[in-house]
Structure 1
């Protein structure tokens, strides 16, 4: 009798150990599936009915969640694509309308009509600015779903984009200067980097005066990009300027939306980078840190 009970206890102890081991293994698998983007499902060599049932129900739940996630991803991608198309479709007639208004302004001699056309031009310009911000946020959401990486020369890209804005800086008498290391290379999304640089230049044109200076260098595993410009208005605080709809232009005289810096912040986050603002009473500095992907060197060597 004692022998029988001893054997029974040992069998039950062995079964308990096996169950604990099996559950720990399932827990590890489940933890991996939750933390990673994978098509894996739960597996076990156990033949115990309730273990098999547990695996089966969990796998059904995993499959159901994958289908929901895929459907949500497809819907979001389609929505962003439709929004992007709509934004472009709206931008074309706006640009044409602005062109017609400018032509009418040149040929208009009546002061009252001229003033009315000028207000129309200002309104169209404001709508176009908001539409541009809408397109930027659409891009951000699209890139969250899928990014396209390639080798980018940041030095060359910055100089090319600045050249596009040359006439604008000349018209506003802002002196633009550069201190960039040659061939600052990294693997990144070209579209995102372009938008970041364009928004930096646009921010200078909207809020800067007199001079602006860009510096760029490689430090450790990052490219550090800094732009410092004289500010057209005194800067009271910078803690919230990166937040959406926050602007230093309290009077809204330049129709600032407070979205430009927030867009730069969101775009730099997509690249796993950092942004820092350093302000003085009459100057404004933006520091960007963009990580260099580990495969950049091998990409350059292969190229």
Structure 2
């Protein structure tokens, strides 16, 4: 009996000791889990903080829209702080480069404007003398050479006029005379003035002008120049197919000038309105590369939109004119 009691006591002690050991192991596991959770929370907090800092930098860069602006960041992370400093250094350098480039461009533009203005008067005098000489008794080669002089002088005169106009527009010095205009009437008059040019090139343009188009508020001389430049461009590169349309689309009037452009590529389209850009190098003898640039400047300065696209070997230049409200 005594031995049995002793055994039972030992068994109870054994069970108690085992439970105590098991409880300690559970506690250790719980502590380990809690420590791991704490580490994970700390890491998450750190990562979220980094993400927040990076997002703040990204938003500031996005909101700057390329303009000069210092990046401000309040962070404990030295690497993020260093990143912000380097971005600010890049902004400073970029601002300095842009300022120099802008100053150089303004000087160049002003020089071109001054040169164009100074050359217009003597060139007009030369044109007058050429016309006076033509009235004389020119024969044979003399007449032929004088015709060459006349053509070259006219090209030079157009180039100088283009320089002068472009500089005026870009300097916001062009004096627009705004009034109600009917685009259909202006386009028809322009097309009529180019009748002989189309005949000489054996081109019969497809004309689609919608009736009863609403008026727009714009400058008549600028609109005439826009249409003239685009028609001239078509005549130079039309390759037997030209189409001109003028239609109302929602709250705008859309004009489209479409012509064959076999030598044009998709790479040319983003640069087609750049100054001095000539896509077809084989036809640059009388091409200044300023016509489409002036056209774009006029269109945008008057508050309208212009774009170009190439589809199936055809160039389409589209202008969206704002209707009069």
Q: Normalised by the size of structure 2, how large is the TM-score? A: 0.57
User: Residue 149 of structure 2: which of 103, 120, 132 is its match?
Assistant: 120
Number of matched residues?
Answer: 273
Does structure 1 retain, via aligned residues, the 8 Å contact 2:210–2:246?
Answer: yes
Task: Give how far 1:197 is off.
Answer: 0.8
Whole-Å separation in 2 of the counterparts to 1:139 and 1:240: 30
Matches within 5 A, 1:61-140: 61-108=90-137, 113-131=142-160, 138=166
Whole-Å separation in 2 of the counterparts to 1:264 and 1:275: 18
Does structure 1 retain, via aligned residues, the 8 Å contact 2:198–2:235?
Answer: yes
Whole-Å separation in 2 of the counterparts to 1:101 and 1:193: 31
Alignment partner, residue 54 of structure 2: 24
Does structure 2 retain, via aligned residues, the 8 Å contact 1:77–1:142?
Answer: no
Unmatched tracts of structure 1, length 5 or more: 230-236, 280-284
Greater Rg, structure 1 or structure 2? 2
Does structure 2 retain, via aligned residues, the 8 Å contact 1:43–1:55?
Answer: yes
Whole-Å separation in 1 of the counterparts to 2:233 and 2:190: 15
Task: Give how far 1:104 is off.
Answer: 1.6
Whole-Å separation in 2 of the counterparts to 1:218 and 1:147: 28
Matches within 5 A, 1:30-49: 31-33=61-63, 36-49=65-78
Unmatched tracts of structure 2, length 5 or more: 1-27, 269-277
SS of the residue corresponding to residue 25 of structure 1 reads: helix
Does structure 2 retain, via aligned residues, the 8 Å contact 1:98–1:124?
Answer: yes
Aligned Cα root-mean-square deviation (Å): 5.4
Task: Give how far 1:32 is off.
Answer: 0.9
Does structure 2 retain, via aligned residues, the 8 Å contact 1:274–1:288?
Answer: yes
Whole-Å separation in 2 of the counterparts to 1:11 and 1:54: 25
Whole-Å separation in 2 of the counterparts to 1:289 and 1:173: 25
Does structure 2 retain, via aligned residues, the 8 Å contact 1:196–1:267?
Answer: no
Does structure 1 retain, via aligned residues, the 8 Å contact 2:69–2:91?
Answer: no
Does structure 1 retain, via aligned residues, the 8 Å contact 2:53–2:75?
Answer: no
Does structure 2 retain, via aligned residues, the 8 Å contact 1:158–1:197?
Answer: no
Whole-Å separation in 2 of the counterparts to 1:226 and 1:118: 35
Does structure 1 retain, via aligned residues, the 8 Å contact 2:70–2:91?
Answer: yes
Task: Give how far 1:150 is off.
Answer: 10
- 1:159 pairs with 2:189: no
Q: Normalised by the size of structure 1, how large is the TM-score? A: 0.60
SS of the residue corresponding to residue 217 of structure 1 reads: strand
CA deviations 1:53-90 (Å, max 9, x no partner) are 44334323323322322332232233123223323432
SS of the residue corresponding to residue 45 of structure 1 reads: coil
Whole-Å separation in 1 of the counterparts to 2:48 and 2:257: 63
SS of the residue corresponding to residue 182 of structure 2 reads: helix
Alignment partner, residue 200 of structure 1: 230
Distance change (3 Å), C-alpha of 1:215 and 1:80: same
SS of the residue corresponding to residue 273 of structure 1 reads: strand
SS of the residue corresponding to residue 224 of structure 1 reads: strand
CA deviations 1:203-233 (Å, max 9, x no partner) are 577789xxx985311124653324689xxxx
Task: Give how far 1:91 is off.
Answer: 3.3
